[in-house]
Amino acid sequence: MLAAHRRQIVTTTMQRLVPGYPRRRRLRALEQGIECAFEAILTCSDEGRSLTEADIPFIRSAVRDAAFRGGTEAEILRAPMVFFRVLWEVMTESLAHTEAGARSIVEFTPTVLEYVEAASRITHETHAIASEANSSLSSVTRFNLTDRLISGSAPEPGQQQSVARQCGLSTDSSIVVVVARHVWQEQPEMALPMAMRVLARSTTSAGVEPLAAVRHDEIVLIRATGHDEAGALAEVLQRAYEQLLSDTIPVAIASSTVHQTLTSVPAAYGEACLALDTLQGAPGYLSLATASPLDYLILRAGSATAWRLVPARIREFVSAELAGDRVLVDTLRAYLQCNMNVKRAAELLFVHPNTAHYRLDRIAERTGCDVRSFEDIEQLALAIRIGHSSSIGEQINTHCLTGVEPAHT
């Protein structure tokens, strides 16, 4: 019965929110948001599960847009509250006159309340970030300090030094530099400031927020980070990247290795920019701090150049395997993982040892490599790794370069 009243619920809510509706039809995004909220509530109730923030992701972008148009938190919260009242009125008018209908209302109400609670939390959090993003644009001191550190100069005495201390940065701080860029040509309004606030918030530690600034067409974040924190920071940035992607702010993010002093910011910035370029304008996150020395050397030389140095027969083999079912590549990896022990590799692959031998023979036949030679096996493994990061393979789109299959966005 509620589903049959879908149009009435949406129209009534819009009439109360937008004067002159539908004659003055505007804010189509708001109308779509109400429709999506209604569908989310019906779906969760029908499936007998709790409604969570993951069921209403569209609210974040709606709140962000409203905040940038000058809407206050109270004004933005009015939309879900009016929708709740209209939904309740329709429920009571349509269902309360029968015992079964009244029972349905009792069963349905918790889902509606979960929606209101989740919408309120999302609105509060997103509006706070949007407000911070607006104010961050006027932070001339942070921008100038970031520019000064990237140029290799120390903070100027006075306000810049004070801001540096607030961000946990001193002359002997070990640091990581993070660089992020929006990857769509049509960049939404305030996308970079919003992304900057998400990154700064997610990497805040012990109440100390890193130095972050929107600099031209990119975000630069400088964070005091020890070597033992690099892995944890990579995980935090990966989650922040995923959050931004779900909030329709696709960005390419890269972070440097850990450098020992604040004067190393220019080198760290250069590393992050180099890593960012390998993403080739696609959304993703790449951390050099979690890469191996070999991976960095490939990155530094350029995966395309390294790929051309691979013998032709091996290139052809790797290209075909990466584009196909990868059975032989998986067999080779298992063989390496088991220290070139065929029997153990077969057990790892859940195949007969004869099958593993047959696959290794096919690899040898197609590549001209001796699979019992460590030197040849090393060359094959390196070619596969380069193939993943080259133009013929998949783009690197994960926080760790080594031993992880690239994830498609």
Average pLDDT over residues 297-326: 80
Which residue, among 298, 301, 266, 264, has the nearest Cα to 383 in the 3D structure? 298
| Residues 14 and 34 sit within 8 Å (Cβ to Cβ) | yes
> DSSP 3-state helix, strand, coil percentages of the chain (rounded to 5)?
65, 10, 30
Q: How confident is the model at residue 391 (pLDDT cuts 50, 70, 90)?
A: very low
Greater pLDDT, 138 or 73: 73
3-state SS, residue 176 = strand
Residue at token pair 């130095």 = 211
**Rounded Cα gap, residues 234 and 326, in angstroms:** 28
Which residue, among 89, 84, 65, 88, has the nearest Cα to 76 in the 3D structure? 65
In this structure, whether the domain defined by 140-290 belongs to CATH 3.30.70.270 is answered with yes
pLDDT value of position 237: 95
Q: How confident is the model at residue 407 (pLDDT cuts 50, 70, 90)?
A: very low
Beta strands in 69-217 (DSSP E): 175-182, 211-215
Q: How confident is the model at residue 189 (pLDDT cuts 50, 70, 90)?
A: low
pLDDT value of position 403: 35
3-state SS, residue 178 = strand
Average pLDDT over residues 265-270: 94
Question: Residue 199 above 90 pLDDT?
Answer: yes
Q: How confident is the model at residue 409 (pLDDT cuts 50, 70, 90)?
A: very low
Average pLDDT over residues 398-409: 35
| Residues 86 and 9 sit within 8 Å (Cβ to Cβ) | yes
Question: Residue 397 above 60 pLDDT?
Answer: no
Give the global pTM: 0.56
Please state the domain extents for the chain: 3-136, 140-290, 303-389
pLDDT value of position 225: 93
Average pLDDT over residues 82-108: 85
**Rounded Cα gap, residues 385 and 404, in angstroms:** 10
| Residues 233 and 397 sit within 8 Å (Cβ to Cβ) | no
- Determine how β-strand 284-287 pairs with β-strand 251-255: parallel
CATH architecture of the domain formed by 303-389 = Orthogonal Bundle (1.10)
DSSP state of 54: G
pLDDT value of position 302: 59
With the C-alpha atoms ordered 209, 273, 406, 364, is the resulting torsion angle positive or negative? negative
Q: How confident is the model at residue 401 (pLDDT cuts 50, 70, 90)?
A: very low
pLDDT value of position 224: 94
Distance of CA 62 to the CA centre of its chain: 19
Average pLDDT over residues 149-175: 90
Which residue, among 256, 235, 239, 259, has the nearest Cα to 247 in the 3D structure? 239
Average pLDDT over residues 380-385: 85
Q: What angle do CA 263, 264, 267 make, to 5 degrees?
A: 140
Question: Residue 264 above 70 pLDDT?
Answer: yes
Q: How confident is the model at residue 345 (pLDDT cuts 50, 70, 90)?
A: very high
Beta carbons within 10 angstroms of residue 248's beta carbon: 14
Average pLDDT over all residues of the chain: 83
**Rounded Cα gap, residues 33 and 52, in angstroms:** 16
